[in-house]
Structure 1
Amino acid sequence: MTGPSGGYEPGVDALRRRVALVAGLLAALLAACTPGGTPPDGGDSSGPAPGGASVLAVKIDNVGAARPQTGIENADVVYAERVEGGLSRLMAVYGTRVPGVVGPVRSARETDLELLGQFSRPTLAFSGAQRALLPEIAAAPLRAVTPDSAGGAFSRGADRPAPHNLYLRPGKLGHPVSGTNAGTLAGFTFASRAPEGGSPLSHRTVRFPAARFDFTWSARQHRWLVSMDGRPATTTSGTRLTAATVVVQYVDIHDSRLHDKLGNASPVSRTVGSGRAEVLRDARAYPAHWTRPTPTSPTHVTPPKNTTPLPFATGPVWVLLAQAPGTGGGRD
């Protein structure tokens, strides 16, 4: 089982496929640890896919025990979203290239399904999901990849305890990316020259209820240096994680009907609609407005009173889905 190819075909065959997918995803939740060693360092192992496949999105663990993560530095876009208990989780999205190893891989959330609608038939790699969410994943226009559906692509590392040690080897999924920048597919515009305006900025902190992200401008690297929960964020090789552009996207975040095993409500970040944003690039902060009218629409980021796209710097984009003021708990 490789996940739905479309999920909307009529008839008995479509129903059987839907049932098989749900059963496979349920099995993924119960899968035991897969034997394996510490993930090796790896370069790109998967090139562009024939036929214009979209992107590979991987859910990444982001608690202290999961760091340093592997392969995030190769992502075109990294989304930070709020999960249970006010903690954060990352979704690394690859369109131009993928690393040999990505992880640690964790479970999917309702937020992911709406967010990924802006990409055309993406592949979503994750460790499992809550039982009540599985039918929605089965119906979503994406290819779901779990340890049960693609066991040969996942392994457990010996460097840290479960559940913080599940890794994906994207090369074993075939060619899951199109070669087109995931940021471009998401609706972002890129330009080497910074736009006019903005305010000088050297440091920005974004807080979730139980997580913190810091971005510090490095003139030498001409990038924002990433820190998480007060510590420099690095790759497994010790290199500092950086972003060319940071987007603080203010969204409505509210509790869903789902809860974790401790009783914490699972939050949902709504990325369809419109709202305020802030764009950081070239040591400057730009007030912005984001718009995404439908689940299949890209996200357009513009100046507050202008429909012209606000150009991002060429390079990795980090998007933080922050609580919009006046819409609930949490702050940035």
Structure 2
Amino acid sequence: MKNKLVVLVMIFLLAITILSACGGKESSINSEDERNKEEEAAEIPESTGIYNPLTGLYVENIQNLTAVMIDNLAPARPQSGLIHADIVYEIEAEGLLTRLMALFYGNPPEFAGPVRSARPYYMQLAKEWDAYYVHVGGCNESFAKIGEWKIRDIDDVKGHRGFFLDKNRKRPHSTYINFAEALNGKPENGNFKNWVFVDTPEKEPAYTEISFRYNSSNRVTYKWDMNKKAYMRFLNDKLYDDRESGEQVYTNNIIIQYAGHRNLQTELQHIWVDVVGKGEAEYFLGGQYYQGTWEKKSMTEPTIYYDQQGQPISLVRGKTWIQILRPGVRLDKLTN
């Protein structure tokens, strides 16, 4: 009986030892798993830098939000700085020619240009952003509205700082703006919209090529680049590139905004574009296509872009080009 009791005690102690060993091993595995998870979490890159509400991306540095009137005539191309702009508007001026208004905020270039003259409807768009508006003079109505609308004015004609001439370009395509000099000492500004940004969809593009005309010598084309996940810009079937780097200008979002145009019957045939109001819109966002509408209730209120359900659209993170066209302009959409 005594021997049996000894055997039972030994078996009991052995069982406790085995269970303890198993428990200790399990605890060790769990601790190692937790350490691995912590190490993996530490390796996941977190968003660093300054959030750019114009693109949904993080940037290393920012400047005062600035809207620059950019020349788009042949002698002005290739332009400087457009490839670094967060948002670019292209709108008609007189004679069916177009000018660009580029917004710079995150990771801005040193300079941009060539800079051209002001027009009131561009100023209405600059006002909704509360941007500093960079230009070289303008029509009489523009001068009148700058004071009335309290535009944050930076004008070469008025002798404001930051402008310089490029000796390799002929007037009026030779004036450029140096941002650091122009914005030095300027107070903070900017009305930043509550735009929602999403990642580029992992889908085949709805259309691989989009094109439209402002006039016979201005045919804009965007071609989807699967590797870059962006729309590459062409003008009259030629690369639309950056003067300094030679890289092709691109965008992640294209907004087609249809707005009324009318001739003001002035000597120089100035026009007016109804950027305050509402109308139809089409969107090419990260390769996907949508239809909708836009509305801007007043000069100081933001332009809101809606989908077909009447909800504000979500943009893909990155750059946006806003093409303002006359209603009825033909939009060619091609697939491979």
Q: TM-score range by the shorter chain?
A: 0.7 to 0.9
Which amino acid letter does the alignment assign opposite residue 286 of structure 2? Answer: D
Q: Is the 8 A contact 2:126 2:132 kept in 1?
A: no
Q: Is the 8 A contact 1:80 1:91 kept in 2?
A: yes
Q: Is the 8 A contact 1:290 1:300 kept in 2?
A: yes
Distance of 2:214 and 2:194 partners within structure 1: 25
Q: Is the 8 A contact 2:121 2:273 kept in 1?
A: yes
| Cα separation, partners in 2 of 1:302 and 1:195, compared to 1, 3 Å | farther
Q: Is the 8 A contact 1:195 1:311 kept in 2?
A: no
The secondary structure found in structure 2 opposite 1:312 is strand
Larger Rg: 2
1:30 aligns to what?
none
Q: Quick one: which of 170, 181, 203 aligns to 2:209?
A: 203
From the two aligned structures, give the one with the greater helix fraction: 2
Task: Tell me how large the CA RMSD over aligned residues is.
Answer: 2.6
2:298 aligns to what?
294
Which amino acid letter does the alignment assign opposite residue 143 of structure 1? Answer: R
Q: Quick one: which of 323, 329, 332 aligns to 2:326?
A: 323
Which amino acid letter does the alignment assign opposite residue 249 of structure 2? Answer: L
The CA deviation at 1:206 is 2.1
Q: Is the 8 A contact 1:80 1:90 kept in 2?
A: yes
1:244 aligns to what?
252
1:166 aligns to what?
175
Q: Is the 8 A contact 1:194 1:311 kept in 2?
A: no
Distance of 1:295 and 1:132 partners within structure 2: 16
Say whether residues 1:303 and 2:307 are aligned partners: yes
Q: TM-score, normalised by structure 2?
A: 0.74
1:133 aligns to what?
142
1:114-134 deviations in whole A, cap 9, x for unaligned? 2223123x2111011123431
Identity, % of aligned positions: 22
The CA deviation at 1:150 is 4.3
Aligned counterparts, 1:152-231, within 5 A: 152-174=161-183, 185-186=192-193, 188-194=195-201, 200-210=206-216, 211-231=218-238
Deviates more, 1:68-77 or 1:111-120: 111-120
Q: How many residues align?
A: 270
The secondary structure found in structure 2 opposite 1:190 is strand
1:232 aligns to what?
239
Report which structure shows greater RCO (CA 8 Å, sep ≥6).
1
Q: TM-score, normalised by structure 1?
A: 0.74
Q: Is the 8 A contact 1:155 1:166 kept in 2?
A: yes
Q: Is the 8 A contact 1:187 1:299 kept in 2?
A: no
Distance of 1:155 and 1:72 partners within structure 2: 18
| Cα separation, partners in 2 of 1:48 and 1:101, compared to 1, 3 Å | closer
1:142 aligns to what?
151
Say whether residues 1:100 and 2:104 are aligned partners: no
Q: Is the 8 A contact 1:188 1:301 kept in 2?
A: no
Distance of 1:88 and 1:115 partners within structure 2: 16
Distance of 2:279 and 2:144 partners within structure 1: 30
Q: Is the 8 A contact 1:188 1:300 kept in 2?
A: no
Which amino acid letter does the alignment assign opposite residue 322 of structure 1? Answer: L
The CA deviation at 1:238 is 0.4
1:13-42 deviations in whole A, cap 9, x for unaligned? xxxxxxxxxxxxxxxxxxxxxxxxxxxxxx
From the two aligned structures, give the one with the greater strand fraction: 2
